[in-house]
Amino acid sequence: MDQREATILFADLRGFSSIAATYPPEVVFYVLNSAFVRLSEIAARHGGTIDKFIGDSIMVVFYRDPASPGEDARRGVHCAVDMQIAMDEGNRALRNTIRPELFMGIGINTGKVIAGVLGSEIYSARTVIGEEVNIAARIEAFCLRGQILVSENTFQHCSDLVETGEPMEVYVKGREGGLVLREIHGIPSADKKVPRQERRRSPRVPVRFPFGYQVLANDVVSQVRSHGTILDIGYRGVLVELERELGLFEELKIDLELPLIGYRTNDLYGRIVNVKRAEGAARFGVEFTSISSDASRNIRRLVHLLIQGTGSD
């Protein structure tokens, strides 16, 4: 057992549960295995060590060479870009077949890990553990399809190599304060860009909690207060269930309480952008039209916690 610096990459297939429930087992196994074979080849080419396959995800470790500090992060990021390019190429080849397309999110972190062999004579495996490994897994959970997110630790070692988006702050379970992430867009010196997935949306998580609202008419807030249930929530809106009928594009003033994080706002506004009926109740997609920075920050915090699960480690 030893402690050493390393870069940890988690790559996870998005929507694979739906694929597994839709396609025959032999197709599911074939596409998953094909993806893992291709990802493994790319990881090996960049000097990565495959730590394990976890369901529909892969964990790769890039160990640091003391003579080349930071090279592990650079290899890890280059590997992630090549993985996303390979997934896009594979999807384009599948578009005229009956096999499903696959999309992936990749999270990367750099830091100290404990490397060693876990297990017994019955079964053992060499692996890495530690807080930096956990953070890498958390980062991957925030990824949308086709996205690569890296920690600030990783970015500091490859800032001259990569093109990124603006820094974003997320909230990680069990960690004081926020965690700064950046999305990798490409590697200009290698003329490589991460393929964009135009259909991806901000993450949404299922919930079930009550809320209050008032309808607006001609910019005047009704004095009648009604109640409904929020069924899912994202950064920019919610899906709600109401007992009364409302029309498309009607506006609401929303009284929202988030008990999991002890936050409440009664100054949130939204517009109904879609309407559907399910199980005898009316469901409405509501897009936020006016939201304070404080409310936005706390909603993002709630979504982040729910993505990771709210139980203790």
Q: Tens digits of per-residue pLDDT, 163-213? A: 999 898 887 766 777 889 999 999 999 999 999 765 556 678 999 999 999
Query: Is the fold of 2-193 the same as that of 204-308?
Result: no
What's the CATH number of domain 2-193, 3.30.70.1230, 3.30.420.40, 2.40.10.10, 3.50.50.60? Answer: 3.30.70.1230
Predicted local confidence at residue 273, as pLDDT: 84
Burial of residue 188 (CB within 10 Å: 0-12, 13-18, 19+) is exposed
Confidence of residue 267 (pLDDT cuts 50, 70, 90): confident
The rounded mean pLDDT for the chain is: 88
Identify which has the larger pLDDT, 21 or 9. 9
Asked if pLDDT for residue 73 goes beyond 90, the answer is: yes
Predicted local confidence at residue 197, as pLDDT: 65
Predicted local confidence at residue 198, as pLDDT: 55
Q: How far is CA 201 from CA 107, 124, 146, 204, 235, in A?
A: 17, 40, 11, 8, 10
Asked if pLDDT for residue 71 goes beyond 50, the answer is: yes
Q: Which residues of 269-280 are buried (b: 16+ CB within 10 A; e: fewer)?
A: bbbbeebeeeee
Predicted local confidence at residue 313, as pLDDT: 36
* Dist. CA 176–CA 149, nearest whole Å: 20
**Is residue 185 a contact partner of residue 164, using CB atoms and an 8 Å limit?**
yes
Predicted local confidence at residue 211, as pLDDT: 94
Structure tokens, 208: 């079930």
Could you read off the pLDDT of 119-160 as tens digits, one per residue? 999 999 889 999 999 999 989 988 888 899 999 999 999 999
Predicted local confidence at residue 305, as pLDDT: 87
**Is residue 230 a contact partner of residue 211, using CB atoms and an 8 Å limit?**
yes
Region 95-103: mean pLDDT is 79
Asked if pLDDT for residue 114 goes beyond 60, the answer is: yes
Asked if pLDDT for residue 312 goes beyond 60, the answer is: no
Domain boundaries, the chain: 2-193, 204-308
Place of tokens 């990680």: 172
Predicted local confidence at residue 11, as pLDDT: 97
Query: What is the separation of C-alpha 251 from the centre of its chain, rounded to a whole number of angstroms?
Result: 30
* Dist. CA 241–CA 298, nearest whole Å: 22
**Is residue 269 a contact partner of residue 254, using CB atoms and an 8 Å limit?**
yes
Q: How many Cα atoms within 13 Å fall on the side-chain side of residue 265?
A: 16
Predicted local confidence at residue 311, as pLDDT: 42
* Dist. CA 42–CA 88, nearest whole Å: 14
* Dist. CA 43–CA 86, nearest whole Å: 12
Region 18-33: mean pLDDT is 86
* Dist. CA 103–CA 12, nearest whole Å: 8
Region 14-29: mean pLDDT is 82
Region 236-258: mean pLDDT is 88
CATH number for the domain running over 204-308: 2.40.10.220
Q: How far is CA 14 from CA 6, 17, 23, 202, 243, in A?
A: 26, 8, 15, 13, 34
**Is residue 184 a contact partner of residue 162, using CB atoms and an 8 Å limit?**
yes
Could you read off the pLDDT of 278-302 as tens digits, one per residue? 666 789 999 888 888 888 889 988 9
SS3 154: helix
Region 212-220: mean pLDDT is 84
Identify which has the larger pLDDT, 201 or 77. 77
Closest CA to 85 of 172, 225, 184, 228: 184
